[in-house]
């Protein structure tokens, strides 16, 4: 009975062993090794999108484990369990083929449940690159909106916009549609300006795609405040509180962060971030260096430079936003030195942080 229960409740992404020729296996690139490399890349992408896979909960295999299926000889209890999960579970299976081309090059084909086959071609020493390309293709096909936001986080703004434009007409899942529109908006704001009217329009469209995409309210408020309309930003937050049924209501508590920033309730905003880290494990902002900067800025606005100092000393470098974010700790330090522990500086810093990185992750 335990095996049957596990089968019905199994929600994982399973990478099956790939087919590979003897010629590549002779130099260590077996089908299992090839599948393992693709698995590594999928695991990396899943870890980079922690907040999204956590949000999806049990309804998606991508919120579960990404693992390698090791082929067995004979029939064992684990093989019986695998057959049950294949028949009754909700796992997503990925497999592929590795072929050595004339001249020594490689062709890697990947396919899976809901993923059309695609071939990636390279030289004899290019397998790692091919595995990365194949994994990104699988991830984009399975979770287009989540992958689009990953592209935003690594500053591939043109790629994020192109993916959103390509996938939106063919994506029915409301959550993925909302993230596609949000990623498009953030990428467009990075390439043009946050005050671009199309940015706010895209943020609004994400809420139309999924009325419970709570982060959209903060994004719309942010765009409104950036164009100088604080009254509209305030009204949007009031609409959010009504739609969510109060605080926190149906929305995650951290989704209310913009309200507390807008009302300058920094103590509550700090508690939201800390509580989110405790509840969600690593937290909504945990995969971003912005978290430490934001905490340091809040502590500054709370007139607590002694608490902000260690936060600044422990910041990790952000390889994707060095130009925008590397200057922020120095600005916060100058706030300490000049005694500007107040409203104006805090607002400037918060906007810069939001626009640089976390507008889509509230």
**Segment 56-108, tens digit of pLDDT:** 443 444 444 455 554 544 434 344 344 434 443 457 788 999 999 988 899 99
Complete DSSP assignment for 163-180: HHHHHGGG---HHHHHHH
Note down the domain range covering 297.
214-358
Q: Are residues 281 and 196 in the same domain?
A: no
Complete DSSP assignment for 7-30: HHT---EEEEPPB--HHHHTTT--
Q: Are residues 230 and 354 in the same domain?
A: yes
Q: Of 142, 166, 182, which residue is a domain's last?
A: 142
Domain count, the chain: 3
Buried residues in 247-269 as b, exposed as e (16+ CB within 10 A): eebebbebbbbbbbbbeeebeeb
Complete DSSP assignment for 100-150: EPTTS-EEEEEEETTEEEEEEEE-TT-HHHHHHHHHHHHHHHH-HHHHHHH
- Measure the CA–CA gap between 362 and 185, rounded to whole angstroms: 14
pLDDT in the model for residue 344: 40
* Contact criterion met (CB below 8 Å) for 201 and 227: no
pTM: 0.75
pLDDT in the model for residue 43: 86
Q: Are residues 218 and 351 in the same domain?
A: yes
Low-confidence stretches of the chain (pLDDT < 50) are 1-11, 54-65, 70, 72-89, 282-288, 319-325, 340-362
pLDDT in the model for residue 164: 98
pLDDT in the model for residue 204: 97
State both tokens at 104: 């020594």
pLDDT in the model for residue 290: 57
Beta strands at 13-16 and 106-112: parallel, antiparallel or unpaired: unpaired
Q: Are residues 193 and 125 in the same domain?
A: no
pLDDT in the model for residue 134: 95
Q: Of 103, 126, 142, which residue is a domain's last?
A: 142
């Amino acid at each position: 009975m335990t095996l049957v229960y596990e089968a019905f409740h199994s929600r994982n992404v399973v990478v099956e062993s790939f087919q590979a020729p003897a010629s590549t296996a002779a130099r260590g690139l077996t089908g299992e090794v090839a599948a393992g490399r693709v698995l590594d890349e999928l695991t990396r992408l899943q870890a980079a999108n922690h907040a999204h896979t956590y949000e999806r909960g049990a309804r998606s295999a991508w919120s579960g484990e990404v693992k390698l299926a090791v082929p067995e000889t004979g029939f064992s209890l684990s093989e019986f369990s695998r057959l049950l999960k294949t028949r009754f579970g909700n796992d997503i299976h990925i497999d592929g083929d590795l072929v050595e081309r004339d001249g020594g090059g490689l062709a890697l084909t990947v396919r899976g449940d809901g993923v059309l086959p695609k071939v990636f071609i390279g030289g004899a020493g290019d397998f790692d690159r091919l595995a990365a390309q194949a994994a990104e293709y699988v991830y984009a096909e399975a979770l287009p909106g989540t992958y689009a936001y990953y592209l935003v986080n690594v500053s591939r703004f043109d790629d994020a916009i192109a993916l959103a434009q390509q996938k939106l007409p063919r994506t029915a899942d409301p959550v993925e549609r909302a993230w596609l529109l949000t990623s498009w908006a953030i990428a467009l704001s990075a390439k043009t300006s946050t005050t671009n009217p199309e940015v706010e329009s895209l943020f609004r469209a994400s809420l139309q795609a999924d009325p419970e995409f709570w982060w959209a309210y903060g994004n719309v408020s942010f765009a409104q405040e950036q164009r100088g309309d604080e009254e509209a930003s305030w009204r949007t937050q009031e609409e959010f509180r009504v739609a969510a049924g109060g605080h926190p209501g149906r929305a995650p508590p951290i989704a209310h962060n913009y309200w507390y920033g807008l009302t300058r309730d920094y103590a509550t905003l700090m508690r939201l971030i800390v509580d989110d880290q405790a509840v969600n494990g690593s937290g909504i902002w945990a995969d971003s260096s912005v978290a430490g900067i934001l905490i340091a800025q809040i502590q500054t606005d709370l007139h607590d430079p002694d608490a902000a100092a260690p936060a600044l000393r422990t910041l990790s470098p952000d390889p994707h936003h060095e130009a925008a974010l590397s200057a922020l700790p120095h600005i916060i330090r100058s706030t300490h030195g000049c005694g500007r522990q107040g409203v104006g500086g805090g607002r400037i810093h918060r906007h810069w942080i939001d626009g640089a990185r976390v507008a889509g992750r509230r």
